A and B are shown apart, each in its own frame.
Chain A
Amino acid sequence: MSWRWFHQWGSPRWFYERAGRWQLVCGWLALILLVVGSLWGLGFAPVDYQQGNSYRIIYLHVPVAFLAQAMYAAMAVCAVVLFVWKMKLADVAMQAIAVTGLAFTVLSLVSGAVWGKPTWGTYWVWDARLTSMLILGFLYLGLIGLRAAIQDPDQAGKACGILVLVGVVNLPIIKYSVEWWNTLHQPASLKLTEKPTMPASMWMPLLVNILGYYIAAAYLVLGSMRAIVIGRERRASWVKELVGRA
């Protein structure tokens, strides 16, 4: 069996070129899905009998909240790959995901605050899910800060990897302890194991948007991974050639 498919991931140049093409595909796909899902959700989905039109922010809030948590898990996978196979690209991915994940966390907190004002009458309550999202934001921030403080990129990557792994073990404990501490949030709108509590005309566009946001996140992560690769390989001849051409 040829190991080429595996080893080529070690080549920054191969990744840079390939990721450019993937990014293009992801970008268009995300754009189409998000336009369809958002128009459908904002314009055509039925009005909620309790919350009126204000519930429509769900088509932004739920996907970004999903992603904010999923990206931490993705980072943990990258950390394992980094420690087991010493693959530098995994570290690049970790760095890219940390920033994107923080962006999604902030977006979900802000969209939640905007949604909270008409429904709960306040921008912020110390409710379980808001609090654990806030803590998640601090975890992302810590990773970015740790990386910025250590000069050697390899060393910074490994330090972040340790922190991510410790964090991912703790995250469920944090989540459940916060939930136990206080809960007043409406129960999750979409669960993989249960039938949704919304009618299909409401959750179908949500599903389209969730998919769209996931692909958009892949687009963003690939883009920032390419930028990081270029930055780290700035002394390599292929980068100099690339920059010279541009």
Chain B
Amino acid sequence: MHGVVNQAIEGLIIEKFGKEAWDEICVASNCQDTTFYNNQNYSDSLTYNLAINASKILQINLDDLLFEFGRYWVLTIANEKYNALLRSVGTNLTDFLIQLPNFHSRVMLYYPNIIPPEFKVKVISPTRIHLHYYSKRPGLECFVTGILDGLKTFFQSDCSIQLMEKGNEGEYHKILFEVRT
């Protein structure tokens, strides 16, 4: 997983629960000497371990925690590191979501070794879009839902985002979200 994802986990835990809690989670995840850099890749198992150990140590439901990591990723990490990028992709949530597939395709050009998720957007009507998410990584639906909720806040949108379906197709885990404005 890309370093910025782990930075979201680190940032949220330190902000809400303090440095000591983070240190304890790092020790449990065997990464006490690891620094998370923006443009480095870390093993997926490390990210999963951090989330699972955070859930155990802080005694917070894993799904709730993943949702908050997703929101924090958008509202703090992306807002700080990709602010101009977020604002340049579109002026509202729908425009932004329509560009998600292109954005992730372009990102793959700079990092040939990373496997970002894939998106497909279908405009059902002027007020309704379907966002399809495909990833080879399991168990991230709450993280993705948190990201979408964070984007809703970022773009000050009062739309509704609903998880319509989730399932597997081959090695892909897929989720369908419906966004209604």
Q: Do A and B bind each other?
A: no
